[in-house]
Amino acid sequence: MVGASGQPADPESLEERLLAVALDLLRNEPAERLSLREVAQQLGVSHQAPYVHFGDKRTFLAAVAGDGLRQAATDAAAALADSGDDPLRRLHALAGAYVDFIREQPHVHDLAYGHLVAKADHPRLQEAAIVYWDLLHDTVAGCQPAGTAEGAVLRRSAAIWGTVYGIARLTALGQIPASVPSDEGDLLREAISTLYEGWQTDRLPPS
C-alpha cells in the first residue's frame, strides 16, 4: 500500500491513524453516518485501506469504539486517583467521569455501548469494556459493608451504572420535567448518595 507521499505506508501506523481519524469524525456525527471512504480520503490512502486492515466496517467500528472507550477509562481512572480514599467521594468521581464521557463524546459512547457493534467484534473494544467495568466494580465494592457477597456487588454495580446513565440521558434529551427542582448534578448526587446509604443499611434486596 502506498501513502499520499508515494512512500510505502507502515501498516501498524496506518491502522492507528485510520482509527484516530474516525474518532475525530465521531465528534460531530454518529457512527451510522461515518464513511470509511472519507476516513481514507483524509489520510490520502486507498478507500480500501480500512477493509485491508480490519476486514469489514463492523470490525473497524468496534476497533474505533475500543480506542474511544479506552481513553474514557483512562480519564475515569485519573478522576478516581484524584478523588482520594473516601468510598462515596470516589463513587461520585467515577459517576462524574462517566457523565463527562456521555456529554463530551456522545457518539463514541453510543457506539461502544449501542447496537452497531458487539464487544466480541474487536479485542480493543472487549478489553476497554472490561477495564471500564472493573473500575466500576471495584469502586462499588469499596462502598460495601464487610461481608457483602460478590453477587450483590455485581448487581449494585449494574444498578448504579443504569441510574447514572438514565439521569444523564434524560437530562440531555430534555425529558426531566421542569417542575423537578434539581439540575442534573443534584439528581446524580442524590441518587448516588441514596444508593450508597441503602448499601450501608442493607435496605436493598439481599444477596
24 contact partners, CB below 8 Å, separation of at least 6: none
Segment 43-76, tens digit of pLDDT: 988 888 899 989 999 999 999 999 999 999 999 9
Give me the mean pLDDT over the 105-124 stretch: 96
- For position 5, what pLDDT does the model report? 41
CATH of 58-201, one of 3.40.50.300, 1.10.1660.10, 1.10.357.10, 1.10.4080.10: 1.10.357.10
Show me where the domains of the chain are located: 1-55, 58-201
- Looking at residue 4, its pLDDT comes to 40
Beta bridge partners of 8: 2
> Which pLDDT score, from 0 to 100, does residue 113 have?
96
Angle (nearest 5°) at CA 13 between 9 and 15: 95
Q: Is the pTM of this model over 0.85?
A: yes
Q: What are phi and psi of 8, to 5 degrees?
A: -55, 135
- In angstroms, the CA 147 to CA 141 distance is 11
Same topology between domain 1-55 and domain 58-201: no
Q: Could you read off the pLDDT of 122-137 as tens digits, one per residue?
A: 999 999 999 999 999 9
The CATH number fitting domain 1-55, selected from 1.10.3470, 1.10.10, 1.20.1070, 1.10.260: 1.10.10
